[in-house]
Amino acid sequence: MKKGKVYLIGAGPGDIGLLTIKGMKCLQKAETVIYDFHINAQILNYINHEAEFIYAGKRGGHHEMTQDETNRTLVEKAKEGKIVCRLKGGDPFVFGRGGEEAEILASEGLEFEIIPGVSSAVAAPAYAGIPLTHRDYSSSFAVITGNEQVSKPESMIDWSKYARGYDTLVFLMGIKNISSITSKLMENGRPAETPTAVIRWGTRPDQKTIVSTLHEIADKVTESKIRPPAVMVVGNTVLLRDKLKWYENKPLFGHRILITRQYNEEYEILERMGAEIFEFPTITTVPPGSYDDLDCAIEKVESYDWLVFTSANGFRTFMERLTEKERDIRDLKGIKICTIGSKTASAVRSYGMKVDIVPNEFNAEGLIDLFLKETGGDLKGIRILLPRAEVAREVFPQKVRELGGEIDTPASYRTSGPGSHSKRLERFLIEGKITIATFTSAATFNNLVDIIKGDVTDLLKDVTIAAIGPVTKKAVEKSGLTVHIMPEKATIKDMVEDLIANALKRGKND
């Protein structure tokens, strides 16, 4: 019988880049994932979607599952022989009840492993420009729970020692009790004028930092309507914030950008400039309903003059089927190749194949003009093979036929909408936490409309919308929304560049 194992994994404070490599590797082999509210939902995109996802909740005191239920589920799933990942915000052993969960597993004789995470105790102050130690200001710090009722007689907090014994104090989960906490510190000798900061949603686009004194910080929190989750830092290192704050100075800080396709390196610049990417692919690539037409084309592939690939997916799936039919690139000798976009061209060249033409205009009309130029304005007798998605525009094939050419358009793949983990996205849209939404095809938008239960038009009405080209723009505008960004060239690179320019322009205007 397969032996189960539980990994207690710290997901970090929010910025997905702070998830450890070891934590990511464990998640990728998980069969069951039990996760809390305060993790970055994007982490779920890196987990095998065949895994079982169990939401434990734990938001603002409301638990979807009690701790006993969570413990019982961990034990049950491990005893079923599954690889179980318990995904917790921050670090499992820093006020994360990871010790309790590990004790239960040990008592049941189950194998487990602890994968530490970056705690908000250090990450939130760091992203706010507040070091916990500094040679000139602090040589010690303490991390204290703020969730304990300070008035209870059996309190484990020795206020006199904390108030006077450490240079820097960090309180987690203390917003509800902030008045009591600050009062206790001052009663036990901490000066009322001690610099104090509160950081809400540290490491996220929503990060908000307020600075005051120990005496006045509770009132400032009330005035600023700061709610959990937040970290409080008490000590003289708070004075360094004005000089050291860096995250909030990034040009795209405060932006959470929705991408409705799979993430790739062309989006990285947005993160480097301070934005957070919310990856929600609304389409996945799957085999077509039938390979009959593609197989027929492959059998007579030598008869074609041109191969046209409009996407890297189209090329990849064509080559996979070519290989399955026990043929290879030698069978393509003498056939000219046209690709739409540099990414598609790179995919072709990675096979050691030459790309003959790449049109400057990435649309059907531009492709026709280029073919007319290549053939001297006459397509009669020209045979073209265009492996593509099962549902695609007919503009180019129709024009080829009108001009006397022959074209076959077998489906080499189809797209479908996964619709997984949509609740978090819908909540972010409702709460106005998505500032920019990007769409790279009409399908990415139309599938989003199908996936989200709420009225997408209403949810996106205040969001800046970027569409990669005129067909995508038309699909968005058909729903009554406004497209604010559409690049001249229909590439992700150009769309991202225009998006950055638009965001910076809006920032200056604001």
The residues that are catalytic are 36, 58, 173
User: Could you give the angle at the alpha carbon of 500 between the alpha carbons of 243 and 310, nearest 5°?
Assistant: 145
Chain-centre distance for alpha carbon 143: 30
The 3-state secondary structure of 118-183 reads: CCHHHHHHHHCCCCCCECCCECCEEEEECCCCCCCCCCCCCHHHHHHHCCEEEEECCHHHHHHHHH
Q: Which run of H or of E encompasses 24? A: helix 21-28
The rounded distance, in Å, linking the Cα atoms of 466 and 481 is 11
Q: Could you give the C-alpha distances from 399 to 365, 366, 396, 402, in angstroms and in order?
A: 9, 12, 5, 5
Closest CA to 370 of 410, 400, 401, 346: 400
Instruction: Work out the burial of residue 122: count CB atoms within 10 Å of its CB; fewer than 13 is exposed, 13-18 middle, 19 or more buried.
Output: buried
The rounded distance, in Å, linking the Cα atoms of 205 and 119 is 18
> What phi and psi values does residue 410 have, to the nearest 5 degrees?
-70, 145
Characterize 47-81 residue by residue with b for buried, 16 or more Cβ atoms within 10 angstroms of its Cβ, and e for exposed: beeebeebebebeeeeeebeeeebbebbbebbeee
Q: Could you give the C-alpha distances from 360 to 364, 375, 386, in angstroms and in order?
A: 11, 17, 19
E strands, 219-298, are 230-234, 256-259, 276-279, 284-286
Instruction: Work out the burial of residue 280: count CB atoms within 10 Å of its CB; fewer than 13 is exposed, 13-18 middle, 19 or more buried.
Output: buried
The rounded distance, in Å, linking the Cα atoms of 5 and 25 is 14
For the CA atoms of the chain, what is the radius of gyration? 28
Q: Which amino acid is at 204?
A: R
Closest CA to 310 of 168, 175, 409: 409
